[in-house]
Structure 1
Amino acid sequence: MPSLDLAQWAVVIFSLILVGVAKTGVSGTGTVAVALFALVLPTKSSTGMLLPLLLVGDVVAVVSYRRHADWPKLLRLFPWLAVGVVAGAVVVRWVDDTQMRRIIGAILLAFIAIHFWNRRRGPEASLGHNRTAAALAGILAGFATMTANAAGPIMAVYFLATGLPMLGFLGTSAWLFLLLNAFKVPFSVALGLITPATLAFAAATAPAVLVGAAAGRAIIRRIDRTWFERVTLALTFLAAVRLMF
Protein backbone atom coordinates (compact mmCIF):
# COMPACT_ATOMS: atom_id res chain seq x y z
CA MET A 1 0.00 0.00 0.00
CA PRO A 2 1.33 3.48 -0.80
CA SER A 3 2.25 5.82 2.05
CA LEU A 4 -0.13 8.77 1.66
CA ASP A 5 -1.29 11.55 3.93
CA LEU A 6 -4.96 12.32 4.56
CA ALA A 7 -5.23 14.88 1.76
CA GLN A 8 -3.64 12.49 -0.74
CA TRP A 9 -6.01 9.70 0.28
CA ALA A 10 -8.92 12.09 -0.24
CA VAL A 11 -7.69 12.77 -3.78
CA VAL A 12 -7.30 9.04 -4.46
CA ILE A 13 -10.81 8.21 -3.23
CA PHE A 14 -12.30 11.11 -5.16
CA SER A 15 -10.45 9.93 -8.28
CA LEU A 16 -11.85 6.41 -7.92
CA ILE A 17 -15.38 7.71 -7.50
CA LEU A 18 -14.84 9.60 -10.76
CA VAL A 19 -13.67 6.34 -12.37
CA GLY A 20 -16.97 4.73 -11.42
CA VAL A 21 -18.97 7.71 -12.70
CA ALA A 22 -17.02 7.57 -15.99
CA LYS A 23 -17.81 3.88 -16.48
CA THR A 24 -21.59 4.14 -16.05
CA GLY A 25 -22.34 7.83 -16.60
CA VAL A 26 -20.21 10.69 -17.87
CA SER A 27 -17.09 9.32 -19.57
CA GLY A 28 -15.14 12.58 -19.37
CA THR A 29 -14.66 12.25 -15.62
CA GLY A 30 -12.24 9.39 -16.23
CA THR A 31 -9.72 11.82 -17.71
CA VAL A 32 -9.74 13.88 -14.52
CA ALA A 33 -9.27 10.70 -12.47
CA VAL A 34 -6.20 9.69 -14.48
CA ALA A 35 -4.64 13.12 -14.06
CA LEU A 36 -5.32 13.27 -10.32
CA PHE A 37 -3.94 9.76 -9.81
CA ALA A 38 -0.72 10.67 -11.59
CA LEU A 39 -0.36 13.82 -9.47
CA VAL A 40 -0.65 12.00 -6.13
CA LEU A 41 1.12 8.72 -6.90
CA PRO A 42 4.38 7.93 -8.75
CA THR A 43 3.40 8.23 -12.39
CA LYS A 44 4.33 4.77 -13.64
CA SER A 45 3.00 3.12 -10.50
CA SER A 46 -0.27 4.99 -10.86
CA THR A 47 -1.06 3.29 -14.17
CA GLY A 48 -0.62 -0.16 -12.62
CA MET A 49 -2.58 0.72 -9.49
CA LEU A 50 -5.46 2.10 -11.51
CA LEU A 51 -5.82 -0.74 -14.03
CA PRO A 52 -7.40 -3.36 -11.70
CA LEU A 53 -9.80 -0.69 -10.45
CA LEU A 54 -10.74 0.22 -14.02
CA LEU A 55 -11.57 -3.44 -14.58
CA VAL A 56 -13.90 -3.34 -11.57
CA GLY A 57 -15.71 -0.41 -13.16
CA ASP A 58 -15.73 -2.17 -16.55
CA VAL A 59 -17.48 -5.22 -15.11
CA VAL A 60 -20.17 -3.02 -13.52
CA ALA A 61 -20.61 -1.13 -16.80
CA VAL A 62 -20.98 -4.36 -18.83
CA VAL A 63 -23.54 -5.72 -16.37
CA SER A 64 -25.45 -2.44 -16.67
CA TYR A 65 -25.33 -1.94 -20.46
CA ARG A 66 -24.32 -5.32 -21.94
CA ARG A 67 -27.28 -5.53 -24.32
CA HIS A 68 -26.53 -2.26 -26.10
CA ALA A 69 -23.11 -2.93 -27.68
CA ASP A 70 -22.44 -2.40 -31.38
CA TRP A 71 -20.25 -5.45 -32.03
CA PRO A 72 -19.30 -4.64 -35.65
CA LYS A 73 -17.71 -1.40 -34.42
CA LEU A 74 -15.86 -3.26 -31.68
CA LEU A 75 -14.52 -5.91 -34.03
CA ARG A 76 -13.35 -3.24 -36.50
CA LEU A 77 -11.50 -1.35 -33.78
CA PHE A 78 -9.88 -4.06 -31.70
CA PRO A 79 -6.95 -5.05 -34.00
CA TRP A 80 -5.88 -1.39 -34.13
CA LEU A 81 -6.28 -1.04 -30.37
CA ALA A 82 -3.97 -4.03 -29.93
CA VAL A 83 -1.33 -2.37 -32.13
CA GLY A 84 -1.52 0.76 -29.99
CA VAL A 85 -1.20 -1.23 -26.75
CA VAL A 86 1.98 -2.93 -27.97
CA ALA A 87 3.47 0.41 -29.02
CA GLY A 88 2.56 1.90 -25.65
CA ALA A 89 4.18 -1.02 -23.79
CA VAL A 90 7.45 -0.35 -25.63
CA VAL A 91 7.35 3.32 -24.60
CA VAL A 92 6.57 2.50 -20.95
CA ARG A 93 9.52 0.10 -20.89
CA TRP A 94 12.03 2.84 -21.77
CA VAL A 95 10.81 6.14 -20.28
CA ASP A 96 11.42 7.38 -16.74
CA ASP A 97 8.84 8.79 -14.32
CA THR A 98 9.29 12.44 -15.36
CA GLN A 99 8.97 11.58 -19.03
CA MET A 100 5.89 9.53 -18.24
CA ARG A 101 4.23 12.48 -16.50
CA ARG A 102 4.86 14.65 -19.54
CA ILE A 103 3.52 12.01 -21.90
CA ILE A 104 0.30 11.76 -19.87
CA GLY A 105 -0.01 15.55 -19.77
CA ALA A 106 0.54 15.82 -23.53
CA ILE A 107 -2.01 13.07 -24.22
CA LEU A 108 -4.61 14.83 -22.09
CA LEU A 109 -4.02 18.16 -23.87
CA ALA A 110 -4.30 16.38 -27.22
CA PHE A 111 -7.64 14.91 -26.16
CA ILE A 112 -8.98 18.38 -25.39
CA ALA A 113 -7.84 19.63 -28.80
CA ILE A 114 -9.43 16.62 -30.53
CA HIS A 115 -12.68 17.25 -28.67
CA PHE A 116 -12.97 20.85 -29.86
CA TRP A 117 -11.80 20.00 -33.37
CA ASN A 118 -14.52 17.35 -33.70
CA ARG A 119 -17.19 19.73 -32.45
CA ARG A 120 -16.19 22.42 -34.95
CA ARG A 121 -16.37 20.00 -37.87
CA GLY A 122 -20.06 19.29 -37.29
CA PRO A 123 -21.90 16.04 -38.01
CA GLU A 124 -21.85 16.53 -41.77
CA ALA A 125 -18.02 16.34 -41.78
CA SER A 126 -17.71 13.50 -39.29
CA LEU A 127 -15.00 10.88 -39.76
CA GLY A 128 -16.93 8.37 -37.70
CA HIS A 129 -17.59 6.01 -40.61
CA ASN A 130 -14.16 6.32 -42.23
CA ARG A 131 -11.98 3.18 -41.98
CA THR A 132 -8.78 5.21 -41.79
CA ALA A 133 -10.27 7.23 -38.93
CA ALA A 134 -11.21 4.00 -37.15
CA ALA A 135 -7.63 2.70 -37.50
CA LEU A 136 -6.13 5.96 -36.27
CA ALA A 137 -8.53 6.19 -33.34
CA GLY A 138 -7.79 2.59 -32.38
CA ILE A 139 -4.01 2.98 -32.46
CA LEU A 140 -4.07 6.26 -30.53
CA ALA A 141 -6.49 4.87 -27.95
CA GLY A 142 -4.44 1.69 -27.50
CA PHE A 143 -1.28 3.72 -27.01
CA ALA A 144 -3.00 6.13 -24.63
CA THR A 145 -4.52 3.39 -22.51
CA MET A 146 -1.23 1.50 -22.17
CA THR A 147 0.77 4.60 -21.23
CA ALA A 148 -1.83 6.48 -19.20
CA ASN A 149 -5.09 4.53 -18.84
CA ALA A 150 -6.51 7.39 -20.85
CA ALA A 151 -8.21 6.06 -23.98
CA GLY A 152 -11.66 7.26 -22.87
CA PRO A 153 -11.69 10.69 -24.55
CA ILE A 154 -10.44 9.34 -27.89
CA MET A 155 -13.07 6.62 -27.94
CA ALA A 156 -15.74 9.08 -26.81
CA VAL A 157 -14.93 11.39 -29.73
CA TYR A 158 -14.91 8.46 -32.16
CA PHE A 159 -18.14 6.87 -30.94
CA LEU A 160 -19.95 10.21 -30.93
CA ALA A 161 -18.74 10.76 -34.50
CA THR A 162 -20.32 7.43 -35.55
CA GLY A 163 -23.71 8.63 -34.32
CA LEU A 164 -24.22 6.02 -31.58
CA PRO A 165 -27.24 6.74 -29.36
CA MET A 166 -26.64 7.17 -25.64
CA LEU A 167 -27.27 3.54 -24.65
CA GLY A 168 -25.33 2.29 -27.67
CA PHE A 169 -22.45 4.55 -26.67
CA LEU A 170 -22.49 3.23 -23.09
CA GLY A 171 -22.84 -0.43 -24.06
CA THR A 172 -20.18 -0.35 -26.77
CA SER A 173 -17.79 1.54 -24.50
CA ALA A 174 -18.41 -0.88 -21.64
CA TRP A 175 -17.50 -3.97 -23.65
CA LEU A 176 -14.61 -2.27 -25.41
CA PHE A 177 -12.88 -1.19 -22.21
CA LEU A 178 -13.47 -4.49 -20.43
CA LEU A 179 -11.79 -6.35 -23.30
CA LEU A 180 -9.08 -3.73 -23.78
CA ASN A 181 -8.13 -3.45 -20.12
CA ALA A 182 -8.07 -7.25 -19.78
CA PHE A 183 -5.79 -7.39 -22.85
CA LYS A 184 -3.41 -4.93 -21.13
CA VAL A 185 -2.99 -7.00 -17.96
CA PRO A 186 -0.19 -9.34 -19.18
CA PHE A 187 1.78 -6.35 -20.50
CA SER A 188 1.35 -4.49 -17.21
CA VAL A 189 2.48 -7.53 -15.21
CA ALA A 190 5.53 -8.00 -17.44
CA LEU A 191 6.45 -4.32 -17.01
CA GLY A 192 6.14 -4.56 -13.21
CA LEU A 193 3.17 -2.17 -13.12
CA ILE A 194 0.82 -4.73 -11.56
CA THR A 195 2.22 -6.40 -8.44
CA PRO A 196 0.79 -7.99 -5.30
CA ALA A 197 0.97 -4.53 -3.70
CA THR A 198 -1.10 -2.90 -6.44
CA LEU A 199 -3.66 -5.70 -6.21
CA ALA A 200 -3.91 -5.18 -2.44
CA PHE A 201 -4.42 -1.47 -3.06
CA ALA A 202 -7.16 -2.25 -5.59
CA ALA A 203 -8.94 -4.61 -3.18
CA ALA A 204 -8.91 -1.97 -0.45
CA THR A 205 -10.17 0.89 -2.62
CA ALA A 206 -12.56 -0.88 -5.02
CA PRO A 207 -15.65 0.18 -2.99
CA ALA A 208 -15.01 3.78 -4.07
CA VAL A 209 -15.33 2.71 -7.73
CA LEU A 210 -18.61 0.93 -6.95
CA VAL A 211 -19.96 4.05 -5.25
CA GLY A 212 -19.04 6.10 -8.30
CA ALA A 213 -20.62 3.55 -10.65
CA ALA A 214 -23.90 3.72 -8.73
CA ALA A 215 -23.75 7.51 -8.86
CA GLY A 216 -23.07 7.45 -12.60
CA ARG A 217 -26.15 5.34 -13.29
CA ALA A 218 -28.27 7.64 -11.14
CA ILE A 219 -27.19 10.90 -12.79
CA ILE A 220 -26.77 9.89 -16.45
CA ARG A 221 -30.30 10.97 -17.42
CA ARG A 222 -30.45 14.04 -15.18
CA ILE A 223 -27.14 15.85 -15.39
CA ASP A 224 -26.65 19.06 -17.37
CA ARG A 225 -24.17 17.60 -19.83
CA THR A 226 -23.00 20.96 -21.22
CA TRP A 227 -22.08 22.30 -17.77
CA PHE A 228 -20.44 19.05 -16.73
CA GLU A 229 -18.45 18.87 -19.97
CA ARG A 230 -17.07 22.36 -19.41
CA VAL A 231 -16.02 21.62 -15.83
CA THR A 232 -14.43 18.31 -16.86
CA LEU A 233 -12.45 19.91 -19.68
CA ALA A 234 -11.28 22.76 -17.43
CA LEU A 235 -10.08 20.37 -14.70
CA THR A 236 -8.41 18.15 -17.28
CA PHE A 237 -6.57 21.10 -18.78
CA LEU A 238 -5.28 22.29 -15.39
CA ALA A 239 -4.15 18.79 -14.41
CA ALA A 240 -2.46 18.23 -17.79
CA VAL A 241 -0.51 21.49 -17.52
CA ARG A 242 0.52 20.57 -13.97
CA LEU A 243 1.76 17.17 -15.14
CA MET A 244 3.82 18.66 -17.97
CA PHE A 245 5.43 21.46 -15.95
Structure 2
Amino acid sequence: MPELSLLAWSLLLAGAIVVGFAKTAIGGAAMVAVGLFALALPAKESTGTLLLLLLVGDVVGTWAYRRTVDRWMLARLVVPVLVGVGSGVVFLRLVDDQVLRRTIGVILLGLLAVQLWTLRRPTRAQGSRAAGRAYGALAGFTTMVANAGGPPMNLYLLREGMAKWTFLGTTAWFFFAVNLVKLPFMVALGLVTHRSLVLLPVLAPAVLLGAALGRWAVGRLDQVWFGRLVTAFVAVSAVELTFF
Protein backbone atom coordinates (compact mmCIF):
# COMPACT_ATOMS: atom_id res chain seq x y z
CA MET A 1 0.00 0.00 0.00
CA PRO A 2 1.25 3.53 -0.73
CA GLU A 3 2.62 5.37 2.28
CA LEU A 4 0.24 8.30 2.65
CA SER A 5 -0.94 10.31 5.62
CA LEU A 6 -4.41 9.86 7.08
CA LEU A 7 -5.36 13.26 5.66
CA ALA A 8 -4.16 12.26 2.19
CA TRP A 9 -6.17 9.02 2.33
CA SER A 10 -9.26 10.96 3.44
CA LEU A 11 -8.89 13.40 0.55
CA LEU A 12 -8.44 10.58 -1.96
CA LEU A 13 -11.47 8.65 -0.69
CA ALA A 14 -13.62 11.78 -0.73
CA GLY A 15 -12.39 12.61 -4.22
CA ALA A 16 -13.17 9.10 -5.47
CA ILE A 17 -16.74 9.34 -4.14
CA VAL A 18 -17.13 12.69 -5.90
CA VAL A 19 -15.87 11.13 -9.16
CA GLY A 20 -18.60 8.51 -9.03
CA PHE A 21 -21.24 11.07 -8.12
CA ALA A 22 -20.18 13.31 -11.00
CA LYS A 23 -20.40 10.46 -13.52
CA THR A 24 -24.04 9.68 -12.75
CA ALA A 25 -25.36 13.05 -11.55
CA ILE A 26 -23.71 16.48 -11.85
CA GLY A 27 -20.69 16.34 -14.15
CA GLY A 28 -19.23 19.64 -12.98
CA ALA A 29 -18.74 18.13 -9.53
CA ALA A 30 -15.71 16.26 -10.85
CA MET A 31 -13.75 19.51 -10.52
CA VAL A 32 -14.01 19.13 -6.75
CA ALA A 33 -12.22 15.79 -7.12
CA VAL A 34 -9.49 17.49 -9.17
CA GLY A 35 -8.78 19.79 -6.23
CA LEU A 36 -8.91 17.01 -3.61
CA PHE A 37 -6.50 14.79 -5.53
CA ALA A 38 -4.12 17.71 -6.11
CA LEU A 39 -4.00 18.28 -2.34
CA ALA A 40 -3.27 14.61 -1.61
CA LEU A 41 -0.70 13.83 -4.34
CA PRO A 42 1.91 15.69 -6.41
CA ALA A 43 0.16 17.70 -9.13
CA LYS A 44 1.10 15.64 -12.18
CA GLU A 45 0.69 12.29 -10.42
CA SER A 46 -2.73 13.36 -9.19
CA THR A 47 -3.82 13.95 -12.80
CA GLY A 48 -2.86 10.44 -13.89
CA THR A 49 -4.35 8.76 -10.84
CA LEU A 50 -7.59 10.66 -11.23
CA LEU A 51 -7.83 9.67 -14.90
CA LEU A 52 -7.85 5.97 -13.98
CA LEU A 53 -10.70 6.53 -11.52
CA LEU A 54 -12.59 8.65 -14.03
CA LEU A 55 -12.49 5.69 -16.40
CA VAL A 56 -14.03 3.50 -13.69
CA GLY A 57 -16.79 6.07 -13.31
CA ASP A 58 -17.17 6.27 -17.09
CA VAL A 59 -17.90 2.55 -17.32
CA VAL A 60 -20.66 2.92 -14.72
CA GLY A 61 -22.06 6.06 -16.35
CA THR A 62 -22.19 4.64 -19.86
CA TRP A 63 -23.99 1.54 -18.62
CA ALA A 64 -26.47 3.53 -16.50
CA TYR A 65 -27.36 5.91 -19.37
CA ARG A 66 -26.80 3.63 -22.37
CA ARG A 67 -30.31 4.32 -23.73
CA THR A 68 -30.24 8.13 -23.51
CA VAL A 69 -27.28 9.17 -25.66
CA ASP A 70 -27.33 11.57 -28.62
CA ARG A 71 -24.92 9.76 -30.96
CA TRP A 72 -25.20 12.37 -33.70
CA MET A 73 -24.01 15.04 -31.28
CA LEU A 74 -21.01 12.88 -30.34
CA ALA A 75 -20.11 12.25 -33.98
CA ARG A 76 -20.00 15.99 -34.66
CA LEU A 77 -17.54 16.54 -31.82
CA VAL A 78 -14.93 13.90 -32.72
CA VAL A 79 -12.60 16.05 -34.82
CA PRO A 80 -12.62 19.22 -32.67
CA VAL A 81 -12.07 17.17 -29.51
CA LEU A 82 -9.05 15.42 -31.02
CA VAL A 83 -7.65 18.82 -32.02
CA GLY A 84 -8.14 20.02 -28.44
CA VAL A 85 -6.47 16.94 -26.96
CA GLY A 86 -3.47 17.35 -29.27
CA SER A 87 -3.17 21.02 -28.32
CA GLY A 88 -3.34 20.02 -24.66
CA VAL A 89 -0.45 17.58 -25.03
CA VAL A 90 1.73 20.35 -26.49
CA PHE A 91 0.59 22.83 -23.83
CA LEU A 92 1.45 20.40 -21.03
CA ARG A 93 5.04 20.31 -22.21
CA LEU A 94 5.36 24.11 -22.29
CA VAL A 95 3.83 25.48 -19.07
CA ASP A 96 3.97 24.89 -15.33
CA ASP A 97 1.04 23.91 -13.10
CA GLN A 98 0.13 27.44 -12.03
CA VAL A 99 -0.08 28.83 -15.57
CA LEU A 100 -2.04 25.75 -16.57
CA ARG A 101 -4.66 26.14 -13.84
CA ARG A 102 -5.18 29.83 -14.43
CA THR A 103 -5.43 29.44 -18.19
CA ILE A 104 -8.21 26.89 -17.80
CA GLY A 105 -9.93 29.01 -15.15
CA VAL A 106 -9.97 32.07 -17.38
CA ILE A 107 -11.36 30.02 -20.28
CA LEU A 108 -14.15 28.69 -18.08
CA LEU A 109 -15.01 32.13 -16.72
CA GLY A 110 -15.28 33.40 -20.28
CA LEU A 111 -17.52 30.51 -21.29
CA LEU A 112 -19.68 31.03 -18.22
CA ALA A 113 -20.10 34.73 -19.04
CA VAL A 114 -21.19 33.84 -22.59
CA GLN A 115 -23.60 31.22 -21.24
CA LEU A 116 -25.23 33.63 -18.77
CA TRP A 117 -25.50 36.31 -21.45
CA THR A 118 -27.23 34.01 -23.95
CA LEU A 119 -29.67 32.81 -21.28
CA ARG A 120 -30.83 36.42 -20.83
CA ARG A 121 -31.77 36.75 -24.49
CA PRO A 122 -35.34 35.91 -25.52
CA THR A 123 -34.15 33.72 -28.41
CA ARG A 124 -30.97 31.71 -28.57
CA ALA A 125 -29.21 30.32 -31.61
CA GLN A 126 -29.01 26.61 -30.99
CA GLY A 127 -27.38 23.87 -33.02
CA SER A 128 -24.54 26.09 -34.31
CA ARG A 129 -21.84 23.90 -35.82
CA ALA A 130 -19.20 26.57 -35.19
CA ALA A 131 -20.15 26.70 -31.51
CA GLY A 132 -20.06 22.92 -31.31
CA ARG A 133 -16.56 22.82 -32.78
CA ALA A 134 -15.31 25.52 -30.42
CA TYR A 135 -16.76 23.92 -27.29
CA GLY A 136 -15.56 20.49 -28.40
CA ALA A 137 -11.99 21.73 -28.89
CA LEU A 138 -12.05 23.44 -25.50
CA ALA A 139 -13.37 20.30 -23.82
CA GLY A 140 -10.61 18.24 -25.41
CA PHE A 141 -7.95 20.76 -24.40
CA THR A 142 -9.07 21.20 -20.80
CA THR A 143 -9.67 17.50 -20.19
CA MET A 144 -6.17 16.70 -21.47
CA VAL A 145 -4.34 19.24 -19.36
CA ALA A 146 -6.30 19.00 -16.10
CA ASN A 147 -9.15 16.47 -16.34
CA ALA A 148 -11.36 19.56 -16.54
CA GLY A 149 -13.30 18.97 -19.73
CA GLY A 150 -16.65 18.71 -17.96
CA PRO A 151 -17.44 22.44 -17.64
CA PRO A 152 -17.01 23.33 -21.36
CA MET A 153 -19.00 20.28 -22.43
CA ASN A 154 -21.70 20.94 -19.83
CA LEU A 155 -22.09 24.55 -20.94
CA TYR A 156 -22.40 23.48 -24.58
CA LEU A 157 -25.10 20.90 -23.88
CA LEU A 158 -27.01 23.34 -21.67
CA ARG A 159 -26.79 25.88 -24.49
CA GLU A 160 -28.33 23.28 -26.81
CA GLY A 161 -31.26 22.86 -24.42
CA MET A 162 -30.65 19.14 -24.02
CA ALA A 163 -33.01 17.22 -21.72
CA LYS A 164 -31.58 15.95 -18.43
CA TRP A 165 -31.40 12.23 -19.21
CA THR A 166 -30.03 12.78 -22.73
CA PHE A 167 -27.52 15.22 -21.23
CA LEU A 168 -26.32 12.55 -18.80
CA GLY A 169 -26.08 9.83 -21.43
CA THR A 170 -24.28 12.01 -23.95
CA THR A 171 -21.70 13.31 -21.46
CA ALA A 172 -21.11 9.80 -20.09
CA TRP A 173 -20.26 8.36 -23.50
CA PHE A 174 -18.35 11.48 -24.55
CA PHE A 175 -15.95 11.35 -21.62
CA PHE A 176 -15.55 7.60 -21.75
CA ALA A 177 -14.26 7.95 -25.32
CA VAL A 178 -12.15 11.03 -24.56
CA ASN A 179 -10.55 9.52 -21.46
CA LEU A 180 -9.61 6.39 -23.38
CA VAL A 181 -7.92 8.60 -25.98
CA LYS A 182 -6.07 10.49 -23.23
CA LEU A 183 -4.76 7.41 -21.44
CA PRO A 184 -1.79 6.57 -23.72
CA PHE A 185 -0.72 10.22 -23.72
CA MET A 186 -0.85 10.31 -19.92
CA VAL A 187 1.26 7.14 -19.74
CA ALA A 188 3.78 8.54 -22.24
CA LEU A 189 4.08 11.76 -20.24
CA GLY A 190 4.77 9.78 -17.06
CA LEU A 191 1.59 10.98 -15.32
CA VAL A 192 0.31 7.45 -14.63
CA THR A 193 2.73 6.04 -12.04
CA HIS A 194 3.15 2.74 -10.22
CA ARG A 195 1.40 4.28 -7.21
CA SER A 196 -1.51 5.27 -9.47
CA LEU A 197 -1.97 1.62 -10.43
CA VAL A 198 -1.81 0.49 -6.80
CA LEU A 199 -4.35 3.10 -5.72
CA LEU A 200 -6.81 2.15 -8.47
CA PRO A 201 -8.29 -1.03 -6.90
CA VAL A 202 -8.24 0.59 -3.46
CA LEU A 203 -10.25 3.64 -4.49
CA ALA A 204 -12.50 2.07 -7.15
CA PRO A 205 -15.14 0.92 -4.59
CA ALA A 206 -15.49 4.54 -3.44
CA VAL A 207 -16.18 5.54 -7.07
CA LEU A 208 -18.93 2.92 -7.24
CA LEU A 209 -20.43 4.25 -3.99
CA GLY A 210 -20.45 7.78 -5.36
CA ALA A 211 -22.05 6.58 -8.60
CA ALA A 212 -24.87 4.93 -6.66
CA LEU A 213 -25.43 8.13 -4.66
CA GLY A 214 -25.47 10.19 -7.85
CA ARG A 215 -27.95 7.87 -9.55
CA TRP A 216 -30.24 8.20 -6.53
CA ALA A 217 -29.92 11.99 -6.35
CA VAL A 218 -30.35 12.83 -10.04
CA GLY A 219 -33.71 11.05 -10.22
CA ARG A 220 -35.01 13.58 -7.69
CA LEU A 221 -33.89 16.70 -9.58
CA ASP A 222 -36.18 18.40 -12.07
CA GLN A 223 -34.85 19.90 -15.31
CA VAL A 224 -34.63 23.47 -14.00
CA TRP A 225 -32.68 22.61 -10.86
CA PHE A 226 -30.46 20.23 -12.80
CA GLY A 227 -29.40 23.07 -15.12
CA ARG A 228 -28.86 25.44 -12.21
CA LEU A 229 -26.65 22.99 -10.34
CA VAL A 230 -24.56 22.23 -13.41
CA THR A 231 -24.00 25.95 -14.00
CA ALA A 232 -23.15 26.50 -10.32
CA PHE A 233 -20.50 23.77 -10.33
CA VAL A 234 -18.98 25.25 -13.49
CA ALA A 235 -18.77 28.66 -11.78
CA VAL A 236 -17.14 27.23 -8.64
CA SER A 237 -14.67 25.27 -10.77
CA ALA A 238 -13.68 28.34 -12.76
CA VAL A 239 -13.11 30.47 -9.65
CA GLU A 240 -11.12 27.71 -7.95
CA LEU A 241 -8.81 27.24 -10.92
CA THR A 242 -8.32 30.95 -11.53
CA PHE A 243 -7.78 32.33 -8.05
CA PHE A 244 -6.66 29.47 -5.77
Shared fold (TM-score, shorter chain, > 0.5) = yes
**Alignment-derived partner of residue 203 in structure 1:** 201
Work out whether residues 106 and 238 of structure 2, in 8 Å CA contact, stay in contact via their aligned partners in 1: no
Q: How many Å separate the matches in 2 of 1:10 and 1:44?
A: 19
**Alignment-derived partner of residue 120 in structure 1:** 120
Equivalent positions of 1:32-71 (< 5 A) are 32-71=32-71
**Is 1:17 aligned to 2:17, yes or no?**
yes
Deviations 1:54-78 (A, max 9, x none): 0000000011011111111000001
**Alignment-derived partner of residue 137 in structure 2:** 139
Q: TM-score, normalised by structure 1?
A: 0.87
Q: TM-score, normalised by structure 2?
A: 0.87
Work out whether residues 88 and 144 of structure 1, in 8 Å CA contact, stay in contact via their aligned partners in 2: yes
Work out whether residues 144 and 151 of structure 1, in 8 Å CA contact, stay in contact via their aligned partners in 2: yes
Q: How many Å separate the matches in 1 of 2:138 and 2:38?
A: 20
Q: How many Å separate the matches in 2 of 1:87 and 1:68?
A: 30
**Alignment-derived partner of residue 88 in structure 2:** 88
Deviations 1:23-47 (A, max 9, x none): 0011221122223322333222221
After superposing on structure 2, the runs of 4+ consecutive aligned residues of structure 1 that deviate more than 6 Å are none
Work out whether residues 28 and 229 of structure 1, in 8 Å CA contact, stay in contact via their aligned partners in 2: yes
**Alignment-derived partner of residue 154 in structure 2:** 156
Aligned-residue Cα RMSD (Å) equals 2.4
**Alignment-derived partner of residue 165 in structure 1:** 163
Q: How many Å separate the matches in 2 of 1:20 and 1:35?
A: 15
SS in structure 2 opposite 1:68? coil
Percent identical residues: 46
Work out whether residues 84 and 138 of structure 1, in 8 Å CA contact, stay in contact via their aligned partners in 2: yes
Residue 183 (structure 1) shift: 0.7
Q: How many Å separate the matches in 1 of 2:119 and 2:30?
A: 20
Which stretch shows the higher mean deviation, 90-99 or 24-33? 90-99
| Structure 1: segments with no counterpart, 5+ residues | none
Work out whether residues 107 and 144 of structure 1, in 8 Å CA contact, stay in contact via their aligned partners in 2: no
